[in-house]
Amino acid sequence: MHPILKMTLQRLGLGLLTLFVVSLIISGAVEMLPGDLAQEILGQSATPEAVAAMRKQLGLDLPWHERYLAWLGDTMTGDLGQSLASGREISNLIGTRLGSTLFLAGLAAAISVPLALTLGIMAALYRNSLFDRGVNVFTLSAISFPEFFVAYILILFLSVQAGWFPSISNIGTDTSFFEQIFRTLLPAFTLTAVVTAHMMRMTRAAIINLLASPYIEMARLKGLPPNRIIVRHAVPNALAPIINVVALNLAYLVVGVVVVEVVFVYPGLGQLLVDSVAKRDVTVVQACSLVFAATYILLNLTADVLSIVSNPRLLHPR
């Protein structure tokens, strides 16, 4: 078998295994509740008979492996059960919110990835210059800032003082596409500030690592201009680590939305998750965690596979 196919399949298998174990943990969340789900729903004052009836209805009287398989089957077919707090179908609750969250993360990615790559390549090109040092200090600071700090600074300057953007991103189903983009821009900028720093630093490091290799020396001795050396000779070989770090940051982006959504009152999955934790709505938290974890694992998996695929040594085996 082609080595690249073999490694990709290996990673895929490993990713699916992780997903399986994670689903075990998340479905086990209910088991770990002090008391059980039936007791939680009915409250402390419920009669033992009512609790027993509820347990039967929820299937809590079955052995755990049957319960897990039933839960897995339901989840696969999109039936995520009901919210403990409101009794509403979770799939209805999550549906549009997941779309909003992905929209926000996508917009942030569309801004941050080109920005980070350009800045990273420029920092490598003008390394140790004033520009490079300035960007370095700036990114190190951006990594250390809490997300809500960045968010409120942006609100203060771009929304309250300049009045360009709304400080609350209340999008609904009736908002037009461009209106939706406009209202999502501020949260997207916040996320951009957080992830760009990391991607940019890795891009710069990956390129500078390569600059010591003999073939770059050769290109330099041939008299090629520095920007051509970087863009044509260094970047293609630095692609594997760059792609990897981009995918990892996209994974972070999907999770990082939680705090940002709360700041901007953005109607996404993160907001739902935080509200449900405060209400101890276990079933909703379970479903949200599963969606977040699955997205995260799949993106990490993509990072793995892409970095294998973009490795020329594996692409063209001797």
Partner 1 sequence: MMQNIWKELKKAPLTAWFGMVVIAIYIFVSIFAGVLAPYGETDPVGFEYEPWGGDFLLGTDNLGRDMFSRLLYGAQNTVAIAIVTTLLAFFLGGVLGLLAASLGGVLDQVFSRIMDVLMAIPQLIFALLLLTIFGTSLINMVLVIAVLDSTRVYRLARAVAMNIVVMDYVEVAKLRGEGLWWQIRHEVLPNAMAPLVAEFGLRFCFVFLFIAALSFLGLGIQPPTADWGSMVRDNATLITFGDITPLLPAAAIALLTVAVNFVVDWMLHRSSGLKD
* Site for partner 1 contains 46 (CB under 8 A): no
Q: Is 281 helix (H, G, I), strand (E, B) or coil?
A: coil
Total residues at the site for partner 1 (CB under 8 A)?
49
* Site for partner 1 contains 32 (CB under 8 A): yes
* Site for partner 1 contains 21 (CB under 8 A): yes
Q: Give the pair of three-digit tokens for residue 47.
A: 């009669």
Q: How far apart are CA 138 and CA 144, in angstroms?
A: 10
Q: Would you give the DSSP letter of residue 280?
A: T
* Site for partner 1 contains 148 (CB under 8 A): yes
Output phi, psi for 212, to 5 deg: -85, -10
Kindly state the smallest distance separating residue 145's Cβ from partner 1, in Å. 5
Kindly state the smallest distance separating residue 232's Cβ from partner 1, in Å. 25
Q: How far apart are CA 225 and CA 220, in angstroms?
A: 8
Residues paired with 82 in a beta bridge: 89
Pure H helices in 233-281: 235-263, 269-279
Among 39, 91, 96, 167, binds partner 1 (CB under 8 A): 167
* Site for partner 1 contains 281 (CB under 8 A): yes
Kindly state the smallest distance separating residue 19's Cβ from partner 1, in Å. 8
Kindly state the smallest distance separating residue 176's Cβ from partner 1, in Å. 25
Q: Cβ closer to partner 1: 149 or 215?
A: 149
* Site for partner 1 contains 102 (CB under 8 A): no
Q: How far apart are CA 154 and CA 144, in angstroms?
A: 16
> Residues 258-277 vs partner 1: string with x where CB under 8 A?
xx--xx---------xx-xx
Among 45, 144, 173, 176, binds partner 1 (CB under 8 A): 144
Q: How far apart are CA 22 and CA 17, in angstroms?
A: 9
* Site for partner 1 contains 62 (CB under 8 A): no
End-to-end CA distance of the chain: 14
* Site for partner 1 contains 164 (CB under 8 A): no
Among 42, 50, 293, 314, binds partner 1 (CB under 8 A): 293
Q: Cβ closer to partner 1: 118 or 128?
A: 128
Q: Cβ closer to partner 1: 53 or 143?
A: 143
Q: How far apart are CA 219 and CA 222, in angstroms?
A: 5
Q: Cβ closer to partner 1: 107 or 269?
A: 269
Among 9, 12, 16, 33, binds partner 1 (CB under 8 A): 33
Q: How far apart are CA 105 and CA 54, in angstroms?
A: 39
Q: Cβ closer to partner 1: 1 or 212?
A: 212
Q: How far apart are CA 100 and CA 173, in angstroms?
A: 10
* Site for partner 1 contains 105 (CB under 8 A): no
CB 72 within 8 A of CB 23: yes
Q: How far apart are CA 1 and CA 24, in angstroms?
A: 33
Q: Give the pair of three-digit tokens for residue 313.
A: 């040594």
Please give the full DSSP string across 176-194, using - where no structure is assigned. Answer: -HHHHHHHHHHHHHHHHHH
Contact residues for partner 1, defined by CB under 8 A: 18, 21-22, 25-26, 29, 32-33, 137, 140-141, 143-149, 152-153, 155-156, 160-161, 167, 251-252, 255, 258-259, 262-263, 273-274, 276-278, 280-282, 285-286, 288-289, 292-293, 296-297, 300
